[in-house]
Amino acid sequence: MTPIRIAAAQFETRNGDKEYNLDAMERLVKQAVGLKADVVSFHEVCVPAYSFMRHAERDTIEALAEPVPEGPSTRRLKDMSSRFDVPILAGLVERDGERLYNTYVCVDGDRLVAKFRKLHAFISPHISCGNEYVTFDLKGWRCSILICYDNNLACNVQAVAELGADILFMPHVTCCLEWPIPGSGLVSRELWENRDADPVSLRQEFQGPKGREWLMKWVPARAYDNGLYAVFTNPVGLDDDQVRNGNAMIVDPNGDVIAECNTLGDGVVVGCCTPAKLETAMGRKHLAARRPELYRHILGRPNDNPVIDPSWDLEK
């Protein structure tokens, strides 16, 4: 493997406006390529936007859903990838027969390289959960995808590491939510709209326990424990009636943040991932010391009634 430069992008979406969102993504792809990115990644369900779906009827979500790879958004992403000569990863709502999925795709020119369906979907009862991990090769690196809540289960990250992932793409829509965690809570819309006049107050909210501080409790741990690169993406600004903090970042196998977007708006950062850090990662040494015979009764125990509880009041 040779070093690879990965871009993590963040932007403010518009509810259900796929054309606007794809145009914003194209601007960020152009910016990332200008920074010599080899790959560009975006957040969860970035094409139609996401959080507004918690209040949406099935007809509304269905109208935004598309087949993959035949749908117009995947075709647009392929065209974008071909014109800028860079692989792109992005999220949308997939329609497959009668089922809808929170899906994340990787395209490289005219090719659909990978398609992953969120394992732990919760935003709407109309969106089904996926049921398999995905690994794929990209620019000579073994990659995988886990969407938002999937990453909260440490066993999922370990699973894709065991399947050979060197890079894990972590598309999210998260933070600045009312959780039962000290310091958490919403960020006021007024702070966001007044960000040019008072950037300090908004940055304090984004960097504190409502945003970045919470991310730092677990994103570096997932990368460190499993000896892989984590590419975290997240929207910024208004997300339906709430505010998100962005903080798109790349974390290395030592759990160190090597690139992070602290812009109070649309932006992109690029991190250089090198094979040397994989070779010396403590997480890989720890995984090599595993004794699965000790865990088989725990890991093999069925869970007939899995409960997906994001501690997010979807009615608000």
15/18 Cα distance (integer angstroms): 8
Which domains does the chain possess?
4-299 (3.60.110.10)
- pLDDT score recorded for residue 316: 66
185 Rama sector, left if φ>0, alpha if ψ -120 to 50, beta otherwise: left
Handedness of CA 285, 287, 292, 295 (dihedral sign): positive
- pLDDT score recorded for residue 315: 67
* Bridge partners, 269 (sequence order): 8
**Cis bond leading into 67, ω under 30°?**
no
Where are the extended beta strands (E) located within 81-187?
Answer: 88-96, 99-108, 111-117, 127-128, 135-138, 141-145, 167-171
Where are the extended beta strands (E) located within 150-308?
Answer: 167-171, 229-233, 236-239, 242-245, 249-251, 257-260, 267-273
Cβ contact 240:170 at 8 Å:
no
The pTM of the full predicted model, rounded to 2 decimals, is 0.96
Q: What is the dihedral of CA 278, 280, 286, 289, to 10 degrees?
A: 100
Q: Rounded to 5 degrees, what are φ and ψ at 299?
A: -70, -25
Cβ contact 134:68 at 8 Å:
no
261/246 Cα distance (integer angstroms): 7
Kindly list the averaged pLDDT for each block of 10 residues, start to end, along the chain of length 316: 97 98 98 98 98 96 97 98 98 97 98 98 96 97 98 96 98 95 95 97 97 98 98 97 97 98 97 97 94 84 85 72
How many of the other CB atoms lie within 10 Å of CB of 149? Answer: 22
Cα Rg of the chain, angstroms: 19
The DSSP annotation for 187-211 comes to PPHHHHHTTTT-HHHHHHHHHSTTT
